[in-house]
Structure 1
């Protein structure tokens, strides 16, 4: 069993420190594509050491590997450190060898970071399933590009039965972005019991209810949340602190609850005034196992040239 295989075996057994030592030893013995790349992979995913991983991958790519692994991994890391101008060409080079769903998605993320919503939209679409986050990201780009009708048609195709369904409140949020208030309210209702209640998305729901003329329902929801928050505050003041819940943590939770209560109390007036909380959106990187020699994922050893 060579060093790479031993390192992967240790990694599979969750012996991460020993695995890292062996990956480093493999590089010390021979700086080839496989050793450089696999150490970079380990540094990226287990150490968050992106800068050192970049150095190793750039050295590996100079050797002109015949696998897409180093290119896709390096592109992903450039996205993580928000350098889309470097991520885009390196991902494209990898896709000349193999176009994957992850690479299409990550090109979408890179173009989105670069402010090119048209290209981002196109690549998210290529990566998308029927109701997943890639399609959600594609629709978000369409909205930013002003294609509301096309966006709504696609939103109407999302289904909860899909294994990768993005989520009810997330779907409602995009309907809210195109001012389709009744459809937004439909999905906020469906997600109400399953989502943790917090002012950010609740305020968007209240806004949609008010804009749809359901002010009474909006008031009832807000009043209920204010009462629930007040009850939590009263219970919080009386709770004793334990080892897993310190006095400082208790004070922070009480402070947060008080802030939430104030935000709920202002929600109806803000919605009537037409104030909508901006949508928080960040496209998601997709990844795969890029570890040369990983038997679990059927990855081959690298073919040196």
Structure 2
């Protein structure tokens, strides 16, 4: 759940009346699970925020009471928090959807706090006579304010506040959070590494900075360094991210048994951890273990890993009938990646289905020629330049040449190699992030 507002800037610009009479209005919405639950235009946004602030102040002191907002513009309560044993139920005569269950108290407090913090920043920028400091300053750290701005897409202000905190109050928390912003938002890896190394000097008692440094080292193929950081991270806390990425480190060091065991430790679904474990067992020569895992796969697990990936590994196990079955489970008449075309055509050839193999390749060749014609005829524009067009054309023409010779190559014993990538994973490593349940660093 989150609150959103848009002030009527035109009225604010054209006169002082809204300032002097406390009648700033705007559009106000409450979103629940991505859908608009409450939507009201010309809402007295600051008046509502002040009433919410009074409710929030009591809630933070353990006094839970119902909230009912009544405005002079309406003849009835238009927004209400109804206290129940299992949480808070929202109620409004103008609600757009019917809510099925109440909210956790902490979730409502969090949503209200974020709304007040973002609106209060706007009120300060406008130098409006009424502000919400009373309801926020005693309850929110500067780090929490920065995180709220970030979550509300006020990125520039959030980043500026993170930098200010790191410069004026360098600590494990302020430096770590700034490094995270540089790493994921600014995509400035060098700055992130420099700041994270400052964090290590402070002897952090958290896995956050070690996980980030491990991810960076892994991306830079510095596997010994990545292993050091990720192993240190796991000494503080076992996180699936560190376990998963350490498995990738072992895999890239050809320590395949260790890699497989790492991937098997993942407690929840995470990217392709299950498939990576299969890869590792294959590379370790443990074909029976790999085959047993593949045999447990069913099509209703497609959100976990798809039939194409299953078929591709069966090729490596030389289980060609099963490879064919799962390739054909998802193959469609449309575009196929050239890698899949080569692997499936190889399976058909190896199963001595030469005629079918030739027909399949010919069909893909026709589709490729149509694709080339479409590229040639497509007009250039701002986002599709002559250079883009030429590069795409050259790539498709190279694929056409491959298809024209593929059958002959397969007839002469060509085996397309297994092509795969192991992608590292990441998570939120921001101290104080309420959304992910992270406490501030102590």
Please give the TM-score of this superposition, normalised by the length of structure 1. Answer: 0.91
Distance across 1 between alignment mates of 2:387 and 2:369:
20
Indicate if the aligned counterparts of 2:335 and 2:367 stay in contact, CA closer than 8 A. no
Q: 1:194 to 1:20 in 2, by over 3 A?
A: farther
Q: 1:204 to 1:239 in 2, by over 3 A?
A: same
Runs of 4+ in 1 over 6 A off after TM superposition: none
Which residue does 1:123 correspond to in 2?
A: 262
Q: How many residues align?
A: 303
Indicate if the aligned counterparts of 1:131 and 1:164 stay in contact, CA closer than 8 A. no
| 1:135 CA displacement | 1.5
Which residue does 1:205 correspond to in 2?
A: 344
The yes-or-no answer on 1:45 pairing with 2:184 is yes
Q: 1:298 to 1:106 in 2, by over 3 A?
A: same
Which residue does 1:300 correspond to in 2?
A: 439
| 1:185 CA displacement | 1.1
Distance across 2 between alignment mates of 1:290 and 1:196:
39
Indicate if the aligned counterparts of 1:207 and 1:274 stay in contact, CA closer than 8 A. no
Larger displacement relative to structure 2 (166-175 or 36-45): 166-175
Aligned to 2:441, the other structure's residue is in SS state: coil
Which residue does 1:90 correspond to in 2?
A: 229
Distance across 2 between alignment mates of 1:194 and 1:29:
61
| 1:121 CA displacement | 1.6
Which residue does 2:164 correspond to in 1?
A: 25
Which residue does 1:241 correspond to in 2?
A: 380
Distance across 2 between alignment mates of 1:251 and 1:65:
52
Q: 1:151 to 1:195 in 2, by over 3 A?
A: farther
Indicate if the aligned counterparts of 1:131 and 1:158 stay in contact, CA closer than 8 A. no
Once superposed, what is the RMSD of the aligned Cα atoms? Answer: 2.1
Aligned to 1:170, the other structure's residue is in SS state: helix
| 1:39 CA displacement | 0.7
Distance across 2 between alignment mates of 1:214 and 1:280:
24
Distance across 2 between alignment mates of 1:246 and 1:236:
12
Which residue does 1:134 correspond to in 2?
A: 273
User: How does 1:52-67 map onto structure 2 within 5 Å?
Assistant: 52-67=191-206
Q: 1:237 to 1:79 in 2, by over 3 A?
A: closer
Which residue does 1:145 correspond to in 2?
A: 284
Which residue does 1:101 correspond to in 2?
A: 240
User: How does 1:162-181 map onto structure 2 within 5 Å?
Assistant: 162=301, 164-181=303-320
Larger displacement relative to structure 2 (274-283 or 242-251): 242-251
Q: Which of 14, 18, 34 is the aligned partner of 2:153?
A: 14
Which residue does 2:115 correspond to in 1?
A: none
| 1:20 CA displacement | 1.9
Please give the TM-score of this superposition, normalised by the length of structure 2. Answer: 0.64
Higher fraction of strand: 2
Q: Structure 1: where are the runs of 5+ without partners?
A: none
Aligned to 1:161, the other structure's residue is in SS state: helix
Distance across 2 between alignment mates of 1:235 and 1:71:
49
Q: Which of 413, 427, 433 is the aligned partner of 1:274?
A: 413
Q: 1:47 to 1:239 in 2, by over 3 A?
A: closer
Distance across 2 between alignment mates of 1:194 and 1:6:
52
After superposition, give the CA deviation of every residue in 1:180-204 in whole Å (9 maximum; x if it has no partner).
Answer: 1111111111121298412222101
| 1:26 CA displacement | 0.6
The yes-or-no answer on 1:257 pairing with 2:396 is yes
Indicate if the aligned counterparts of 1:210 and 1:218 stay in contact, CA closer than 8 A. yes
Q: Structure 2: where are the runs of 5+ without partners?
A: 1-139
Which residue does 1:79 correspond to in 2?
A: 218
